[in-house]
Chain A
Amino acid sequence: MNVEGVIHQIFSGLANGCIYGSIALALVMIYQATHHLNFAQGEMATFSTFIAWALIQKGMPYWMAFALTFGLSFLAGLAIQRLILRPVERAPVLTNVCVFIGLLLIFNAFSGWFFDHTVKAFPSPFAQEGILKTPFFSAHEFGSFLVMLAVLSALYAFFRFTPIGLAMRAAAQNPDSARLVGIRVSWMLAFGWGLAAAIGAVAGMMVAPIVFLDPNMMAGILLYGFAAALLGGVDNPWGAVIGGLIVGVLENLLGAYVIGTELKLTVALVLIVGTLTLMPSGLFGKHVVTRV
């Protein structure tokens, strides 16, 4: 166990952590607005990644396919909220969980049905030996780090400086008052879903070159996303990102030096159960007090 190796593991963990963080961010965006955890987030991202793959196979340049997938995912997320989730918006938790599981099954089945179950290589837009290659990061790791950073900054700017971002925050924080000042709360939820789907798509496209593309690609990653979101505090977007980084580094260090890579999902299980039991509001979450 040498220092260089540890540093390398930490950096590579940070790169993975960005991806977990962005899935967590997508989960948190939907949770903040609706208080539901979207179990289909991972499968939606996988399906988006398959669309990007198909576009690239058709000969479209990478970044064009990237942008198109981003847009399509946004529209798809919006449509799903409008058509499928809106009727059960106020239904009990079990109904919602069943609908989310239904979506998960549908997207997983569609990925397999339309693009078959063989494992596919997904191209990375960052050249192996390009300027992005540093001693501790591979080019793709550094590149995806930058992409995620860009997504986060864009999101921050969107929520901080645009009127619609402000409206979305208002709708999430206090739906009743927001409605009184003329914000269409239900549509804001749909925008939130669209954004979450688009962020998930980016995460999918960034992780696919590492883990390879197949319909079940996201199952484990979604679990890490959940762990990250819960660790960071499920109602705090910044917490989600920091939680993702912590989970990524932890996963890499534990995998390399303590328990090996075979029990990665068990680590996520322990993290999730541990966080929920010992620290239910996470590191940066609000403590919720219920009046009985």
Chain B
Amino acid sequence: MSKTRVIWIGLALLLVAAMVLPFLVKNYRVFQFNLVLVYAIAILGLNILTGFNGQISLGHGAFYAIGAYAAAILMDRAGLPYWATLPFSGVLCFVLGFLMGFPALRLAGHYLAVATLALALAIPQLLKYKLLEHYTGGVQGIVLVKPEPPFTFRFLDQPLSADRWLYFFTLAVTIVMFVLAWNLLRGRVGRALVAIRDHPIAAAVMGINLAMFKSLTFGVSAAFTGVAGALGAVVIAFVSPDSFTVTLSIFLLVGLVVGGLASIPGAFFGAIFIQFVPNIADELSKSAPAAIYGVLLIVLMYLMPLGVMGMVRKLWARWQPGAARLQASVKPGTSVPVPPDLTKESTT
């Protein structure tokens, strides 16, 4: 069986499993799975920027927050239905991300990390700011109403509850976003992004407009994360400044590294990790999740710099020797995004 065929069958089975899953577990678990999907979109957004384009952002929680607040304000003040808020959040974050991308053009590596970290730290304060309080609800935040399912039925003895309905909505959005990202990254644009990451000068020589591509990447990445934020606001039905601290940005980075840099499906592993590991670790101590994340970040950098997906690829190559050759010889016209070579010595 060819590799593509295996992947398609696997995806179909996964989809069926994902459709049945919410009816097998309790409502609270469904809510948690909703968040997994939301985080997966957010991590995918960060991956487009950091994994594929090599621009380090420690502040994607800020775009998540802006997306969430935009959705919440539109629902709360303008009375828009929940599904209509997503495009607004996406477009708003695209514009803001694009603007943030302009200074980012002049900042490489660490400097961009500092600037985005500052953004992540400043956002909760800005959301609490008294001149904006009329819209943002200040420290209190905004409480939303969870949308009711438009129709209802019972399956496996479980009703289609609000959370289950939202699960299907979130799943649909997730599929759309992942297909969009896949289409964006598998062609010319994806190759340009990877070229910019690996050798900006060579990329510029080949006629890639660095400034435009980097700013646009920032915008697209922010838009993905903004849509995730809007979905998150709908799923949780509440936004407040203190849910969007710098911790969120750092957790997204952890999810990215765990799942795998420059890997689209890796975002799911990262999302599952940041959603469920804290729940388990919390029983040990309130501080345990952060400690585990910290140790894991460092250990992963030493042992598994390409995360879970890097491991999966390696095992696949070992299990089926032909696959390794397929990966190595990229046919013209198809693009296999090459993972960043984290073990290579930097030239600077």
Contact = CB atoms under 8 A, between A and B. Distances in A.
Interface of A: 35-37, 39, 84, 87-88, 90-95, 97-99, 101-110, 112-113, 117, 219-220, 223, 226-227, 230, 262-266, 268-269, 272-273, 276-277, 280, 292
A262 B129 contact: yes
Given A109-B294, A272-B118, A97 B110 contact: yes
**Chain B contact patch, size range:** 35 or more
B110 A36 contact: yes
Chain B, interface SS category: helix
B346 interface: yes
Interface string B50-92: 1000101010000000000000000000000000000000000
Interface string B245-271: 010001001000100010000000000
Contact of B340 (A88, A90, A94, A113): A94
A42 B346 CA distance: 27
B56 A93 contact: yes
Contact of A101 (B58, B118, B121, B344): B58
B115 A94 contact: no
B176 interface: no
Interface in B108-143: 108-111, 113-115, 117-119, 121-122, 125-126, 128-130
B305 interface: yes
Chain A, interface SS category: helix
A105 B302 contact: no
B3 interface: no
A230 B114 CA distance: 10
Interface string B271-312: 000000000000001111111011111101110010000000
B189 interface: no
A230 to B, nearest CB: 7
Contacts of A264: 125
A67 B311 CA distance: 47
B15 interface: no
A235 to B, nearest CB: 13
12 contacts: A92-B344, A92-B346, A93-B56, A98-B300, A105-B250, A106-B291, A109-B291, A112-B286, A113-B287, A113-B288, A276-B103, A276-B107
B241 to A, nearest CB: 11
B345 interface: yes
Nearest to B51: A94
Contact of A93 (B110, B130, B288): B110
Most A CB within 10 A of own CB, among B110, B119, B126, B297: B110
